[in-house]
Amino acid sequence: MTGFMNRIDAVCSDGKSYQLLKQYEEHPYPDKKKYVFSETLPSIDSYAPEVITPERRAER
């Protein structure tokens, strides 16, 4: 898995996985850009810099 993680630039997750990751004191992937795809998360925080909602998907 380490080799794979060295080759990627970003980590994408859904809202439920994001909630699980937030339980850790430090993010397991601190050097990766993080995107969360969710219909229910109201906002972003320092743990996931960008939340992609259905409205945001329509904008792109």
Residue 7 pLDDT? 93
pLDDT tens column, 5-55 = 899 999 888 888 888 888 888 877 888 888 888 888 766 666 656 777 777
Residue 5 phi, psi (nearest 5): -65, -30
Whole-model pTM above 0.75?
no
- What is the pLDDT confidence band of residue 59, given thresholds at 50, 70 and 90? low
Contact yes or no for 31/6 (Cβ under 8 A): no
Contact yes or no for 28/1 (Cβ under 8 A): no
Contact yes or no for 35/52 (Cβ under 8 A): yes
Residue 8 pLDDT? 93
